[in-house]
Structure formats: C-alpha cells, structure tokens
Amino acid sequence: MQAWVEAEAARLARRIERELEALVAVSSPSGDSHGAEEAVSLCAALLPADAETERLPSSTKGYAPDLLARIRGTGSKRVALLGHIDTVVTHDAHRALQRQDDRLVGSGAVDMKGGVVLALGVLDALAARPETFAEIALLLVTDEEWRVGGLDHASRLADFDACFCFEAGQAGPGGEEGVIVKRKAAGTLRVRAEGRSSHSGSAPDRGRNALLALAHAAERVAGCHDPGGDKQLSAVPTIMNSGEAFNVVPASGELFCDLRAESQAAFETVIASVPPEVGGAMLESELVRLWPSMDAREATRPLLDHAGELLGRPVVGMERGGASDASHVAALVPLTVDGLGPRGGSAHSPNEYVLADSLHTRAEVALAVVASLLDIA
C-alpha cells in the first residue's frame, strides 16, 4: 500500500469511530431545522482550522441551510467531496450508536453519517498537503432524503475536476473494494383521483369511487414493471391514500409509485399507462421527484485502476439502483465516484449499522482514490 494512504488511514481510524458516535447522537431527520443545525455545527467543529465555511440555501424550501467548506491549495486540481447529514429516522425512533459485535448500530450510521465522517477525515488529511490541489470543497446538504427537485448547488461544482460522494460502500462480486459509478434514474410518480362521494349504504352507485380508480392505476403501473428488460424498468406502487369514513364512497385520494430505469425516458411509458378516467373518477399523473441516471464507468476506469495499485488491492466500479446526489453532479462532472463511505446495511431501519472494521478499510479506499487523482506520493 502506498505510504501516505496507509499512514493517513491508520491515523483517521483512531478518531473516526468517536466522531461517528458523536454525529449519530444528533437526531437530524429531514426537515427538522434544529437537528440539522446541530449536525452542521458538529461537522463544522471537525473541519481543519484553515477551512473557509459558507452556509448555502437548501435546495428544499424551509430546510436548514447546507454547509460548504473549502480549503485552498497551491496545486492545480479542484476536488469536491459530497454528503448529506439528514436521515429518514424520526426523533421518536432515533437510536444512538452502539457496538454490537462487529457492527456499529445507530440511526443514519450507514446512510450516511459514516460517509460524512470519512469525508471529513479525507479533508483533514488533504489539508496537510496543500501543494497537491488548488481547492478541496466539502458540501454537506440537509435535504437529500426527501428532496423533490434537483440539487441547486450542483452548478457550483461544474468546473471541478472530480466529485467524490460518500454514500455507503459495498464489496465487489469477488470481495473487491467496490465503489459506485453507475446509478439508475429514479422517479416518484403521484396519481391523484377525483371522484364523487355518496353514502355507501343507501346510494353506493351515485358515487364515483376514487379508491377503485387508484387501485386500477396501481395495477397499470405494476404492469409496466420489467427490471429484466432493456430499460431495466422497475415500477412499484408504494403508498395509496383514499377515503375518510367506512360508509362513504371515497371522493378523492392519491397513489405514489417508485420508478427506476436506465434513463428517465422510460418513465413516460408508465405515466402513459395510467388512464385519465376510471369509473367516472378522474385521474391525474405527474412525476413529483426525479433523479437523473449516472454512468461514469468509462470516465472513472483509469482512476480506479490506479487507485487499486496504490491501495494494493482492486477497486472496482459497480452499479446501484438507489438514487444519490452524485447523480446530479455527474451530469456536470464526468469524473464522479460514489459509494466511498463505509460498508454496512439495514438503511432506514431501526437496525441500521456500519461494519466497524470498514471505517478503516474504506478510509484507505477513499484516500487511494484521492491520491490517484492528485498524484500524491
């Protein structure tokens, strides 16, 4: 292993678990300004002393501002590090970090506070080598989990040489160190139904049943599901709400469906499958959340090959179906690598965890990738 990578990873490993414990102790569900401010303050306290900080308006109205930290150097390349501090876990369900055998279990541990502390560690390691870069920027956002639109700050990174995102890492098919270089497009389809209410006992046929219309729409969406096809389209109804009383024909309601595909163009087929009317109830379909696809396989292959040489073990680019802020940046910065965070599992559940040993091994991976780009000897 390259000496700088080995030494810095060992140094970071001695502090990262404590920092993860502190960050997970902060409950920061999406949309909660107090929790976000507390998490941002903690991250700011862990920044190198010479970091310049700026608070940027969140891409989602009403959310706490994002944090942008910068370190200036005397080299030539600009590198962006990317992460988010919000979780899907409510305050009532929040769990502080606990070690259970080889696992560090806690809310947001793998998605993605483990990645955030690794990004902070990489920034700290690079701060001591200003001759190797022109600028290192760390962007931590507060709204990734529930954002409806795009990442407003992606354009700020358009002239950077590379973007490294610290969502959870994974193992390759042969046990290699895996990073994410390809993601599907992701969308949330909402179908609204407007019918007519009536008493379900005395006048059931006078109503126009919004619930039945939505159920029909859900079947039509599910009929488009073809993950093994050319478009790799998954179309999954996930939430349906309709009706206010057990004895009234539902007059309105809405259906949500999760869509994933090789490109967002495939979603048009799903939208077109939903009829405008069922049984007299009117249906209206729209995409309320859209994440672009990401494909950085070719652009990142030489970088990852070199990183594997520095690491002393292979680093392989992999595909993941889930969405990430890296997808927004990759459209502007071709050299985008995601999945640089620690390995773990059970994201968004009470048993979410990080594999303790991976804090060290994935620090090695992230540092090797950065060293590969910046030619750190």
Question: What is the pLDDT confidence band of residue 321, given thresholds at 50, 70 and 90?
Answer: confident
Question: Tell me, what's the pLDDT at 323?
Answer: 83
Q: Does position 121 have pLDDT exceeding 90, yes or no?
A: yes
Question: Tell me, what's the pLDDT at 377?
Answer: 85
CA distance 342 to 105: 13
State the average pLDDT for the chain.
Answer: 96
Q: What integer is the mean pLDDT of 112-123? A: 98
**Are 52 and 70 contacting, i.e. CB atoms less than 8 angstroms apart?**
yes
Question: What is the pLDDT confidence band of residue 320, given thresholds at 50, 70 and 90?
Answer: very high
- DSSP H helices, 25-149, are 33-45, 114-127
Question: Tell me, what's the pLDDT at 64?
Answer: 98
Question: What is the pLDDT confidence band of residue 328, given thresholds at 50, 70 and 90?
Answer: very high
**Are 368 and 315 contacting, i.e. CB atoms less than 8 angstroms apart?**
yes
Question: 219-271: per-residue pLDDT in tens?
Answer: 999 999 999 999 999 999 999 999 999 999 999 999 999 999 999 999 999 99
**Are 168 and 342 contacting, i.e. CB atoms less than 8 angstroms apart?**
yes
Looking at this protein, which amino acid is placed at residue 95? R
Question: Model pTM?
Answer: 0.91
Percent of the chain beyond pLDDT 70? 100
Comparing 118 with 377, which gets the higher pLDDT? Answer: 118
* DSSP 8-state secondary structure symbol assigned to residue 332: T
Q: Does position 322 have pLDDT exceeding 90, yes or no?
A: no
Domains present along the chain, CATH in parentheses:
3-184+293-374 (3.40.630.10), 185-291 (3.30.70.360)
DSSP sequence for 179-205: EEEEE-EEEEEEEEEE-B--BTTT-GG
Question: Tell me, what's the pLDDT at 162?
Answer: 98
CA distance 287 to 135: 37
Provide the token pair at 193.
């139904």
Question: 130-144: per-residue pLDDT in tens?
Answer: 999 999 999 999 999
Q: Which residues of 115-140 are buried (b: 16+ CB within 10 A; e: fewer)?
A: bbbbbbbbbbbbbebbebbebbbbbb
Question: 269-319: per-residue pLDDT in tens?
Answer: 999 999 999 999 999 999 998 999 999 999 999 999 999 999 999 999 999
Q: Does position 204 have pLDDT exceeding 90, yes or no?
A: yes
CA distance 233 to 240: 21
